[in-house]
Structure 1
Amino acid sequence: MSFFACCTSQHRFHKKTLKKKIKSYHEGKPVPSIFANFSLKTDSSKRNFIEGEIEKLGRGNLTSQIFTYSELCFATRNFHPDYMIGEGGFGRVYKGFLKGTNQVVAVKQLNRNGFQGNREFIVEVLMLSLLHNPYLVNLVGYCADGDQRVLVYEYMVNGSLEDHLFDLPPDKKALDWSTRMKIAEGAARGLEYLHEVANPPVIYRDFKASNILLDEDFNPKLSDFGLAKLGPTGDKTHVSTRVMGTYGYCAPEYASTGQLTTKSDVYSFGVVLLEMITGRRVIDHMRPSGEQNLVTWAYPLLKDRRKFTLMADPLLEGRYPIRGLHQAIAIAAMCLQEDAELRPLISDVVTALNVLARKNVEWSDNNNNSNNSVERMILID
């Protein structure tokens, strides 16, 4: 699998050159070649080479801090199970405390089960050291001691969006409508930065509820950039790559052909927005056979506005604006179109969601025949 970026001996950046490119990037100037001259060795026997290259890139060139493994053991009480706050396919996440900076952090220890983890590690360090936006999680630092691969992020006190949508315990309050729309807009703004501000553009490739983290005010930040990919540039329409990501969230054209575009992320966004509207998981084997796949279940309902209220999360208990529900479903429907060219740009999604996310908006629930352009753009036939 071809990931952008990490150096071959034939194409190593001089430190001053890399610093200059990073400075230009932070000033908003285009840096078309910042990752282009990197290529990752794929032979697992090159593990030591990768460790050395990460350390060279990290010292003085990247904005993130380098930690020793012993420092992170101290911060997490030797990665004690009581400190574990999450677990995914590529490792466990622990809550930690950095005594030197008096900072609470999230420490992700990658599984040591193959070269794929090393690739993701390198990509994430480079991505989050070069890309900075309020809607992307901040990478505090990393550790590459021996065969350890550890990432240290800012701590997001409210966990992930997934934690607040599904399988809620009886004492946990469900997210209200306005908070859901606020999270949707913020997550879309994160994608907008990657697609339309970053130069070259970045395709996130793993947009899902568990990768949207929430701070104390439920502001969202995208996390886990291990699968991120540089988007097409020049006259190219797509990048071709091995299909990666999470089942159910992948766009159909990417899943079938491996051809990846920013519109692939837009489809994934539509899936997550549908999860937020309905309170249903994208894949749920506990439901009846016809309802296990969220998009398949929703597809016929998207054709009939009279059935839109059937899609609302029961945990909302009817506390949502009818017109707002209709518009949110219309946005999701546009994002979920099978023809990628018909899906909107993520910046258009941000514009549409901005109205739904604003506080104190006076919705006219009696105006269900609104001529609003979002409502009229449901294109699923």
Structure 2
Amino acid sequence: MGNCLDSPARVDNRESSFGGSSKISPKPSQPSRLSSLIIPSYSNRSFTSSWSLQTPRSEGELLTSPTLKAFTFNELKTATRNFKPNNLIGEGGFGYVHKGWIGEQSLSPSKPGSGMVVAVKKLKSEGFQGHKEWLTEVHYLGRLHHMNLVKLIGFCLEGEKRLLVYEYMPKGSLENHLFRRGADPIPWKTRMKVAISAARGLAFLHEAKVIYRDFKASNILLDSEFNAKLSDFGLAKAGPTGDRTHVTTQVMGTQGYAAPEYIATGRLTAKSDVYSFGVVLLELLSGRPTVDKSKVGVEQNLVDWAIPYLMDRRKVFRIMDTKLGGRYPHKGACAAANIALRCLNTEAKLRPEISDVLSTLQQLETLTTTGSTPTATMSPSSVSENRGRSLRSR
């Protein structure tokens, strides 16, 4: 099976981005086997619906979603002021993202400063994200609605032109806040808020039997209050159903975030997303990107470098972001490190469910005031497995 993993996208200094530079498989996808949407009980802002996530029989059926507006290209040209360069807020292998303005009720183009600010993603005809992935994003974001998923407002499909219109996320991507040169340090409390809200969004997807497959810092967008929302669903897949334990697919994604068993076999499960979450949590703790070619040896790979320190509470401080200046609760950092270690287990079956990760992270919010420690412990077999990994990586 070919490995189509792409290197992490460069950090963009613009306000916001949608997606990164993940290369997309040209092979036709298998029909989704997801039959119904199950809403998790831990978010009162999710909505219950009786409709199906079964892949539509035709493109026309998909593009007639009652929850999405079909924009004309001229409408989006007007909304973005003809895609003026000073309205460009992000770019990647997929294309460009421009800021635009539309009426809150009419959704028609409006003047800058009036109505509602939106982000308009305009795909490159030669970009990594093809028509199939564009349809996948419309399919999932047109039907899945949650406070921690970026809202898709509408789309445009005219000839070769493919555009998507999203809610605008004023704080941009987590990647920019963590790694952009000159960015203000993110306080500990905010980092945990981002981790919790991103985990909540991922837990919602897993309850709906959807595997995200592209969980990474550049796909986590932040609103004005630093609440995280997951974006870019072009690689999302319907998860296994019935007696099946996994779905098999061509390996896609971004180097450093993909689970080892997925890279090796192409077998994809919800636990593959959990591994990716562990990588992002480690980035939040350390302030270091998952792959850093400026480093030497094992330090180039964040996971391989950090695992030995995560396994020893006395050494966790060595991986903590120096930009925090020591301003974080030691017990909280150790608990978060333990969560990351569990998520990064090389044995997929030993990783926790993302719902359990969410529950434990939420306990961290009260750690500072109560002085208690979340009840998240590594099983002996889990610790042993990670120890073996750390030794092999040296």
Query: Is 1:178 aligned to residue 189 of structure 2?
Result: yes
Partner of 1:294: 302
Shift of 1:116: 5.0
Provide the secondary structure at the position in 1 that maps to 2:349: helix
Distance, in Å, in 2 between the alignment partners of 1:56 and 1:259 is 30
Partner of 2:83: 79
Q: 1:334 aligns with which of 320, 342, 350?
A: 342
With structure 2 as the length reference, what TM-score do the two structures score? 0.81
Shift of 1:5: 5.2
Provide the secondary structure at the position in 2 that maps to 1:178: helix
Provide the secondary structure at the position in 1 that maps to 2:205: helix
Distance, in Å, in 2 between the alignment partners of 1:186 and 1:231 is 22
Shift of 1:76: 1.3
Distance, in Å, in 1 between the alignment partners of 2:343 and 2:234 is 24
Provide the secondary structure at the position in 2 that maps to 1:153: strand
Partner of 2:175: 162
Shift of 1:323: 0.1
Q: 1:131 aligns with which of 101, 121, 144?
A: 144
Partner of 1:14: none
Partner of 2:54: 35
Query: Is 1:107 aligned to residue 128 of structure 2?
Result: no
Query: Is 1:362 aligned to residue 352 of structure 2?
Result: no
Change (3 A) 1:92 1:36: closer
Provide the secondary structure at the position in 2 that maps to 1:217: coil
Distance, in Å, in 1 between the alignment partners of 2:56 and 2:120 is 30
Shift of 1:253: 0.4
The percentage of counterpart residues that share the same residue type is 51
Shift of 1:84: 1.1
Q: Is the 8 A contact 1:323 1:363 kept in 2?
A: no
Partner of 1:12: none
Distance, in Å, in 2 between the alignment partners of 1:284 and 1:57 is 40
Distance, in Å, in 1 between the alignment partners of 2:31 and 2:377 is 42
Shift of 1:4: 4.9
Query: Which residue identity is paired with 1:250?
Result: A
Distance, in Å, in 2 between the alignment partners of 1:62 and 1:244 is 31
Partner of 2:278: 270
Query: Which residue identity is paired with 1:130?
Result: R
Distance, in Å, in 2 between the alignment partners of 1:193 and 1:275 is 22
Q: Is the 8 A contact 1:206 1:227 kept in 2?
A: yes
Structure 2: runs of 5+ lacking an equivalent: 1-26, 40-45, 108-114, 388-394
Q: Is the 8 A contact 1:68 1:143 kept in 2?
A: yes
Shift of 1:357: 3.2
Provide the secondary structure at the position in 2 that maps to 1:298: helix
Q: Is the 8 A contact 2:150 2:167 kept in 1?
A: yes
Shift of 1:83: 1.1
Q: Is the 8 A contact 1:321 1:363 kept in 2?
A: no
Distance, in Å, in 2 between the alignment partners of 1:115 and 1:221 is 22
Shift of 1:55: 4.6
RMSD, aligned CA: 2.3
Partner of 1:191: 202
Partner of 1:121: 134
Shift of 1:54: 3.8
Provide the secondary structure at the position in 1 that maps to 2:170: coil
Partner of 2:23: none
Shift of 1:208: 0.2
Partner of 1:373: 375
User: Per-residue displacement from partner, 1:233-273 (whole Å, max 9, x unpaired)?
Assistant: 00000000000111110000000100000000000000000
Q: 2:357 aligns with which of 345, 349, 360?
A: 349
Q: Which runs of 4+ in 1 moved over 4 A?
A: 375-378
Q: Is the 8 A contact 2:291 2:300 kept in 1?
A: yes
Q: Is the 8 A contact 1:161 1:209 kept in 2?
A: yes
How many residues were matched structurally? Answer: 338
Higher RCO (C-alpha under 8 Å, 6+ residues apart): 2
Change (3 A) 1:4 1:62: farther
Distance, in Å, in 2 between the alignment partners of 1:146 and 1:30 is 30
Shift of 1:73: 1.0
Tell which deviates more after alignment, 78-87 or 223-232: 78-87
Distance, in Å, in 2 between the alignment partners of 1:265 and 1:286 is 27
Query: Which residue identity is paired with 1:361?
Result: T
Query: Is 1:310 aligned to residue 310 of structure 2?
Result: no
Q: 1:233 aligns with which of 241, 248, 255?
A: 241
Partner of 2:391: none
Partner of 2:71: 67
Q: Is the 8 A contact 1:63 1:129 kept in 2?
A: yes
With structure 1 as the length reference, what TM-score do the two structures score? 0.83
Query: Which residue identity is paired with 2:200?
Result: R
Partner of 2:12: none
Change (3 A) 1:114 1:302: closer
Query: Which residue identity is paired with 1:236?
Result: R
Shift of 1:219: 0.6
Partner of 2:213: 205
Query: Which residue identity is paired with 1:374?
Result: A
Provide the secondary structure at the position in 1 that maps to 2:369: coil
Structure 1: runs of 5+ lacking an equivalent: 7-20, 39-52
Q: Is the 8 A contact 2:311 2:341 kept in 1?
A: no
Partner of 2:390: none
Partner of 1:94: 98
